[in-house]
A and B are shown apart, each in its own frame.
Chain A
Amino acid sequence: MSSLVKEQTKPTLNKRPKWQKMGPFGYIVLALVTFLSLFPFYWMFIVASNGTDEISKIPPTLLPGPRFFTVVSHVYEALPQFNQALLNTVYVGTIVAVAQVFFSAIAGFAFAKLNFRGQKFMVLFVILTMMLPSQLGIIPLYMLMGNLGFIDSLNALIIPALVTAFGVFWMRQVIDAQVPNELLESASIDGAGVFRVYWSLVLPIIAQSSFVLGLFSFLATWNDFLWPLLVLQTPEHFTAQVAVNQLKSSYAIDYALNMGGAFLSTAPLIVLFIFVGRRLVRGVMDGAVKG
């Protein structure tokens, strides 16, 4: 008798509690959050489309104006290489994303599923490296780039960024959580070598999460501005953020110009986000549940 009762309650293992229906309060909060999250972009567009003198009006203009394309043409006047900068960023971002995923996945796999001496220490080392401020090594890294002839070349952005501690850490978690040992066990007993196991079994399983890691890498590269600013000299080699910063660097702060540039450098990401936003959300949430 009691066993019957038990069986009935078993399926409710992860059932969410019977919550009350959503009241308006929750929706109001969410709407407010949505508004606040998107407002800065909207404002970028408002200022860029209205021109600089508009922003000093009281009450301020809240609707887009007609001068967006004029402002955009000014941006290109001030920096004719802006498009090139966007392309450069896509180029660097893609290579870095692919490389980071590749190297992180393979290292993460080793940490997650293989057993070898010194492993624990290595993992700890990886974690500790994440605590070091990037500004600490910036000068020697510049000198190193100088010796390698990478200054003013996109290689200076790519080569040092091929691996990332965070990526290794993340992939280790992901592989740990998503790849069942039994699967690998049986494959290896069937005679498959380690690399084969990795390539044919592990990679397909973690494809989704790898893609998400790649996306985050891409985004981080797109938004990186300090190191590229230091290392890139000629405008033709600029990346998006350096280009935007260039607009800032006259004495005059032309707000419409700056916002226009900021908008142009952010818009591609928004477009990308429309397509992959849901996956990113899933990726963040998957990475969160490690227990």
Chain B
Amino acid sequence: MLSIKSTAIIAAGLLSIGALGAISPAQAVVDCTTATSDTDTCTVLTINTFGDVIEPALVSDYKKLHPEIKLSIKKSDLDALNGTGLYTQCAAGGAGSPDIAAVEISYSGFWRSYPQCFIDMRTLHTTVGNKSATDIKKDYLPWRWDQGVGYNDSVIGIPTDVGGLEVAYRWDLFKAKGLPYKRADVSKAWDTWPKFIAFGKKYMAKVSAADKKKNIGFMDNAATIYAAIMNQGTEKYYKNNGTDGGQLVYKTNPQVKLAFNTTIDAAKAGIGTRIGQFSSDWNVGMSKGTFAVMLSPAWMMDYIKGQAPTTKGKWDIADIPGGGGNQGGSQLTMPIKKAGMPNHKQQAWDFITWYLAPAQQLKVFQVYGLFPSTPSLYTDSDLVGFKDPFFNNAPTGAIYADGVKKLKPIFEGKLQRCIDMAMGSALSLVINGKEKVTTKAFAKGLSDADKCK
């Protein structure tokens, strides 16, 4: 017979142990890292993406929020993702489709014409907040949003980042050659493309003959100027005539000729090293100062940090000639899946809305530099006040926000990418010296573009 006191003590003891047990780690969180397909406790979401659209830090964050979801990510080349991937899968009735697919801007015009291949996000509702695409539309830049709207007005994708476009340059190399090197001075010195080319020439004049032989140059590749100028106009290859498909105007749009000829001018002025972007020499060249200037969308900054860590602090960001520009960005879509395949629509929609919400886009910017497509952030002090030490403490948030604000919506049509590649190849012919006559190359570009139809 225990005394009341002892009983109370023992009871208290038992209760505390019981309480401890209730919150002890023995009640483990489910671990789905090794799941290969849906189980009772785990759901596997398949994501087809390219480059670094889905960033690792956020994948970890989501895992903490939703340990029962496993994100299975497959990366492909852009053309593979769309050609052997989405298109073939849709043609096979959705066989093999992932739950989520990242569609790059250059393909947005293409996929808008096949909305039947995607789930209409207006019909989906988030678990928390019951939000459908219609509800979140207001959070995004209108022209970025429109890139995810199909011809039948269904919403097929939600915008990720905005590429933006500015110029990353090595201020230390500029300084060493006696050229203006401070952000504001540089931006002023090259506020038009002809001035940019002239600046480049001045730089090249200070490069020794021996260095020139080693292929040291001003910018990595003059060909990048083409895309920059194309995105600074109001029209690219299509004219928005009120119809879904738009009207092809690549043959007559003066912007095309302007972009082409300016690029050739730059190439002929010898300011580019002709190194192909994303080639092995390019990666190396970044660290070694083989070139001092790169036209840089926001996502490029993280790339430079990864490839050339030893150049920290030696880069800066200046405004791009012509004011504003854009390169890249994508939408997250949900392709249709064939009957019988696992249905993850709810989980996929929950993930997409979370990942692309302003809060997460801000984090992606801070960690990786990708510029958000959510305008509410453009006045956010965290974004505007952000300074990047790698880039000499440049206020990258403010700089890119400025550039993005200057962008005018450009209608992207179905054959966008095909025509881009045709013109790009024509440019390469001249830049690599295989075609001396600019007009001939231009004509070839146009005739190859004709074959896109």
Contacts and interface: CB of A to CB of B under 8 A. Distances in A.
Do these two chains interact? yes
Interface of A: 52-53, 55-56, 80, 139, 142-143, 145-147, 149, 151-152, 229-231, 233-237, 246, 249-253, 255
B72 interface: yes
Interface in B163-193: none
A56 B44 contact: no
A56 B278 CA distance: 15
Given A53-B287, A146-B95, A246 B74 contact: yes
Contacts of A250: 51-52, 75
Contacts of A229: 80, 84
Interface in B44-84: 44, 46, 48, 50-52, 72-77, 80, 84
Interface of B is mostly: mixed
B438 interface: no
A251 B72 contact: no
Interface residues of B, number: 37
B88 A230 contact: yes
B36 A236 contact: yes
Interface in B19-59: 33, 36-37, 44, 46, 48, 50-52
Contact of B288 (A56, A251, A255): A56
21 contacts: A52-B283, A143-B95, A146-B93, A146-B95, A146-B96, A147-B92, A149-B340, A233-B46, A233-B48, A233-B96, A233-B98, A234-B36, A234-B44, A234-B46, A249-B50, A249-B77, A251-B51, A251-B303, A252-B303, A253-B279, A253-B280
Contacts, number: 78
A285 to B, nearest CB: 39
Contact of A143 (B37, B92, B280, B307): B92
B437 to A, nearest CB: 34
Interface of A is mostly: helix
Contacts of B52: 250-251
A88 B98 CA distance: 20
A143 B95 CA distance: 8
Most buried by A among B80, B95, B340: B95
A12 B88 CA distance: 64
Contacts of B338: 146
Contact of A234 (B74, B77, B307): B74
B75 to A, nearest CB: 4
Contacts of A235: 72-74
Contacts of B278: 251-253
Q: Top 9 closest A-B pairs, CB basis?
A: A146-B95, A151-B96, A146-B92, A236-B36, A56-B284, A249-B75, A143-B92, A151-B95, A234-B72
B202 to A, nearest CB: 28
Contact of B84 (A53, A152, A230, A237): A230
A286 B82 CA distance: 46
A252 B302 CA distance: 10
B210 to A, nearest CB: 14
B306 interface: yes
